[in-house]
Amino acid sequence: MRLLLITLLLTTLLSSGTIRIAVAANVSYAMKDLKKEFNTLYPHIKIQVALGSTGKLTAQIKNKAPYDILMGANMYYPNTLYKEGFAITLPHIYAQGSLALITTRGYDMSQGIDSLSNAKIKKIAIANPKTAPYGIATLEALKNAKLYQANKSKLVYGESISQTVTYAMKATDFGFIAKSALYSPQMSHLKKDRHWVEINSKLYTPIDQGIVILKRAKANQEVKAFYDFIRSPQAKVIFEKFGYLVP
């Protein structure tokens, strides 16, 4: 009986309220499924999601933006927030992202990243490396593939990986995007080796994506519930569905 009462009490405590999550843009494609699964467990907890580049979200947090959790696109920004006292939990890797190269302009992709040697290519979309971890990984891949110097004048920068996807689909010849985007309904028609190829992971540092609870959410059990969920087996299944590797 006592255990039942405790369970009912915890359920009541975790059954209402709104939590605010700052989410790296590459995770936007998986968030709908993550929220749906979380709300099967806690149906009355509302989740507000702010999407953007991790660098910009971190700047907002430092300027007192009312977020409870950061789900970053790398470990650097979550580590920075923890070291500077803005986060109360050590950064935890919740997923590992991958880079993909896409085109909707009919270019031959049989050479993978070396397809960018084609002199006819005019514009290549990448995420801004100053604020977006996937942009950092893209530059690293281009340099390690010995393709940066020949293509640096062709680079078009998106402020987040989601904006980069838009550029790649509508405005540029090629684009470097998060592989997770390819699993969204809007891009499910794109075919591997025809429209996209995965970039060899040896060309860039692993994209370890980190999560932290922020200082304003200290002792907030609803936030803790979401944080624990993102690290759960149920969430890992969803991340894998969207092309991530999970720890």
Q: What is the mean pLDDT of each run of 10 residues along the chain (247 residues)?
A: 43 65 95 97 97 96 98 97 98 97 96 96 96 94 98 96 94 97 90 96 96 96 98 97 92
My answer on whether 77 and 122 are in the same domain is no
For residues 63 and 15, is the Cβ–Cβ distance under 8 A?
A: no
Domain harbouring 223, CATH code: 3.40.190.10
DSSP 3-state of 183? helix
Count of beta carbons in the 10 Å neighbourhood of residue 198: 16
My answer on whether 65 and 28 are in the same domain is yes
Q: For residues 33 and 241, what is the distance between their CA atoms, to the nearest angstrom?
A: 10
Residue 170 pLDDT: 95
Residue 56 pLDDT: 96
Note whether residue 104 is domain-resident: yes
Residue 108 pLDDT: 94
Residue 16 pLDDT: 56
| C-alpha distance from residue 101 to each of 139, 143, 242 (Å) | 13, 15, 16
Note whether residue 247 is domain-resident: no
Q: For residues 141 and 138, what is the distance between their CA atoms, to the nearest angstrom?
A: 5
My answer on whether 102 and 145 are in the same domain is yes
- The residue range of the domain holding 180 is 97-203
Note whether residue 120 is domain-resident: yes
My answer on whether 155 and 232 are in the same domain is no
My answer on whether 148 and 79 are in the same domain is no
Q: For residues 189 and 211, what is the distance between their CA atoms, to the nearest angstrom?
A: 31
The total of structural domains in the chain comes to 2
Hey, what amino acid is at 190? L
